[in-house]
Amino acid sequence: MKKHNNSDKITRKEAISKMGKYAALTAVGTFVILNPLKSQAQSVPPTPGGDPFS
């Protein structure tokens, strides 16, 4: 599944060669980690609250 083909290597090389200090320090501070729902669910209301059972 890991694909290290030539175009990936070129892109990576370009990114490194162009990367200055500031870009490197900024880059490691900006990433996103996203976790899907562990169990299937429909839309959650934007603000929780409101008990359908009360």
Partner 1 sequence: MNSNLAPTCKKLFGDYWVLWYAISNSYSVVSLEFEALLDIYLSANSYNAFSSATPIALNVTEKERIFKSLHNYLESCNQPYVLSDKDSIALNTAFRNISKHYVFEDRSIQIHYSSESVLKIIHPAIAYYCKSLNDTINVTFDVHLYNDQLCLYKNETLITAVPKTDYHLVQGKFIMHLLCELHDIEEQDWIGTLHGSTITDGESSILFIGKSGKGKSTLCALLAAHGFDLLADDVSPLHSNNRHLYYNPSSISLKEGAFNLLKPFVPHFDELPIVEFNTTKGPLKYLPSCKPEKDHYPCQAIVLVNYTPDSETILEDISVQLILETLIEDSWLSPNPKHAEQFINWLHTLPLLQLTYSSTPSVLSEIATLFKQFNCHK
34 binds partner 1 (CB under 8 A): yes
Closest distance to partner 1 from the beta carbon of 9 (Å)? 9
6 binds partner 1 (CB under 8 A): no
17 binds partner 1 (CB under 8 A): yes
Cα–Cα distance for residue pair 44/37, rounded to 1 Å? 11
Cα–Cα distance for residue pair 32/35, rounded to 1 Å? 10
30 binds partner 1 (CB under 8 A): yes
33 binds partner 1 (CB under 8 A): yes
